[in-house]
A and B are shown apart, each in its own frame.
Chain A
Amino acid sequence: MTACLLAIVILAACSTQAAQPVPLKSGVEFASADVRSLQQDDFANPGMLWVTRGAKLWLEPAGSDGKACGTCHGDANRSMKGVASRYPRIDSVSTGLINLEGRIQQCRERRQHAPLMAYESDELLALTAYVASQSRGIPVNVEIDGFHRAHFERGRAMYYQRVGQMNLACTNCHDANWSKKLGAETVSQGHGNAYPIYRLEWQAAGSLQRRFRSCLSGVRAEMFPYGAAEYLDLELYLAWRGQGLAIETPGVRR
């Protein structure tokens, strides 16, 4: 009995996993005051350029049938409200996991019969930012059961896997060391609730997967191509981990 307790104590002491962040804090809370005020003012937020462009694209006919997104979905302010909070999710047709970008691409392909937009192209970022911005203030709320489960588990494993020449995992920075400084940058809890964001360093908007690539290249790890299954799984895990945070698209970061 005593030995058993002792073993439990030892195991607990040797546990390598840092707890998930409490309380949950959006990335903007770790940004400097000027970056924060850029995000919070729609007239100053450079990400709004992509949102505005997305609003135009929403109404632009594309593909052989000459249909626009708005032809089927009408007023995005109403029809797209809350949608981004449920992604990534399983697509009922293919039973594969898709993120918001993937959902938009599917409509292009299946409904508009229009050519796909390249991942990370301004068009796709604009439409994604426009659709996601309709959910501002709505809490992230993804499913992780059923067909989601295996993706969720793989995403979680990836989050805890040390990689790269610097041998670090997402958890080492975003669970164990958030609020501390890595060089001149304050490490946040690593949530995806404000994406696509406008990043001053990029001088452009970028997707959550672009941010993954920044973190991976920072630890000198191999990157996956945009849209890779690994990134989708990681997006799902990250969304679950940030469940309850309000969507803030378009975020602004340094």
Chain B
Amino acid sequence: MYPGNGKLSHVTTDFTCRIRMLVLVAGIAVLSPRADAQSAAVTFRIEAGEIRTPLAADAGDATRGRAAAAARDGGNCQLCHALPDMQAVFAGTLAPPLHGVGARLTEGQLRLRVVDSSVVNRDTIMPAYYRVDGLRQVAAAFREKPILSAQQVEDVVAYLKTLR
């Protein structure tokens, strides 16, 4: 997906990105000119492997975040991850369990992983939850829409912080 080699995290400091405006060409990060009127694109900044500034004005709500993480039409995180407070029988094993993740990672690191895990691991199978470009053949009903809204990203991050 990225023409450049290796991990992006070393080079993606201090670039202002809209939803996936980061394009890496031979190790040089540039801002793509793509502007999309439809997607309520919130500007965010990746610094030292984190997105420090919340994407939404309202603070994240952990209870709503838990529901958004569980919902089949929301995060559906258990497809791949086990979550400590959800039923294990429905949990996938494609990804590490999220037990204790709120203690392992900072809020900014959690936010970056929900927004776009491929910034951390280029080959990740984890979907980018807040990104609309760089995707192909998206079904019409989902086109130009991130999987989660900016507020839902904040809610999910607030929920992940409680997993200590």
Interface residues of chain A, those whose CB is within 8 Å of chain B, are 10, 14, 16, 161-168, 172-173, 176-177, 180-184, 187, 217, 220-223
Establish whether residues A163 and B137, one from each chain, have CB atoms under 8 Å apart when the complex forms. yes
Name the interface residues of B123-164: CB closer than 8 Å to any CB of A. Answer: 123, 125, 127-128, 134-142, 145, 147
Q: Tell me the complex Cα distance, A217–B140, Å.
A: 11
Establish whether residues A165 and B142, one from each chain, have CB atoms under 8 Å apart when the complex forms. yes
Q: Tell me the complex Cα distance, A222–B92, Å.
A: 24
Establish whether residues B91 and A183, one from each chain, have CB atoms under 8 Å apart when the complex forms. yes
Q: Tell me the complex Cα distance, A172–B121, Å.
A: 14
Establish whether residues A164 and B137, one from each chain, have CB atoms under 8 Å apart when the complex forms. yes
Distance in Å from the Cβ of B145 to the closest Cβ of chain A? 8
Residue of B78, B128, B137 near A222 (CB, 8 A) is B137
Q: How many A-B residue pairs have CB under 8 A?
A: 73
Interface residues of chain B, those whose CB is within 8 Å of chain A, are 1, 5-6, 76, 78-80, 89-94, 122-123, 125, 127-128, 134-142, 145, 147
Residue of A165, A172, A217 near B135 (CB, 8 A) is A165
Q: Tell me the complex Cα distance, A183–B63, Å.
A: 22
Establish whether residues B139 and A217, one from each chain, have CB atoms under 8 Å apart when the complex forms. yes
Q: Which residues of A contact B137 (CB under 8 A)?
A: 163-164, 221-222
Q: B6, B76, B123, B140 — which one has the most chain A CB atoms within 10 A of its CB?
A: B123
Q: Chain A's interface: helix, strand, loop or mixed, by majority?
A: loop
Q: Tell me the complex Cα distance, A161–B92, Å.
A: 23
- Name 15 A/B residue pairs within 8 A (Cβ), A-sorted: A10-B5, A14-B5, A14-B6, A163-B136, A164-B135, A165-B138, A166-B147, A167-B134, A168-B125, A173-B125, A183-B76, A183-B90, A220-B142, A222-B138, A222-B139
Q: Which residues of B contact A181 (CB under 8 A)?
A: 91-94
Q: Which residues of A contact B89 (CB under 8 A)?
A: 184
Q: Tell me the complex Cα distance, A176–B94, Å.
A: 9
Q: Which residues of A contact B136 (CB under 8 A)?
A: 161-164
Q: Which residues of B contact A167 (CB under 8 A)?
A: 127-128, 134-135
Q: Tell me the complex Cα distance, A222–B140, Å.
A: 7
Q: Tell me the complex Cα distance, A14–B92, Å.
A: 26
Establish whether residues B79 and A183, one from each chain, have CB atoms under 8 Å apart when the complex forms. yes
Known pairs A14-B5, A163-B138, A173-B125. 11 more at Cβ < 8 A? A162-B1, A163-B137, A164-B139, A164-B142, A165-B138, A166-B127, A167-B128, A167-B135, A168-B127, A183-B79, A220-B142
Distance in Å from the Cβ of A19 to the closest Cβ of chain B? 14
Q: Tell me the complex Cα distance, A57–B125, Å.
A: 45
Distance in Å from the Cβ of B69 to the closest Cβ of chain A? 14
Q: B5, B80, B139 — which one has the most chain A CB atoms within 10 A of its CB?
A: B139
Distance in Å from the Cβ of A6 to the closest Cβ of chain B? 12
Q: Tell me the complex Cα distance, A54–B147, Å.
A: 44
Given the interface pairs A166-B127, A167-B127, A167-B128, the reply to whether A182 lies near B138 with Cβ below 8 Å is no
Residue of B78, B123, B142 near A183 (CB, 8 A) is B78
Q: Which residues of A contact B134 (CB under 8 A)?
A: 167
Q: Which residues of B contact A176 (CB under 8 A)?
A: 125
Establish whether residues A221 and B139, one from each chain, have CB atoms under 8 Å apart when the complex forms. yes
Q: Tell me the complex Cα distance, A211–B86, Å.
A: 29
Q: Tell me the complex Cα distance, A10–B136, Å.
A: 28
Q: B79, B89, B128 — which one has the most chain A CB atoms within 10 A of its CB?
A: B79
Q: Tell me the complex Cα distance, A16–B139, Å.
A: 25
Q: Which residues of A contact B122 (CB under 8 A)?
A: 16
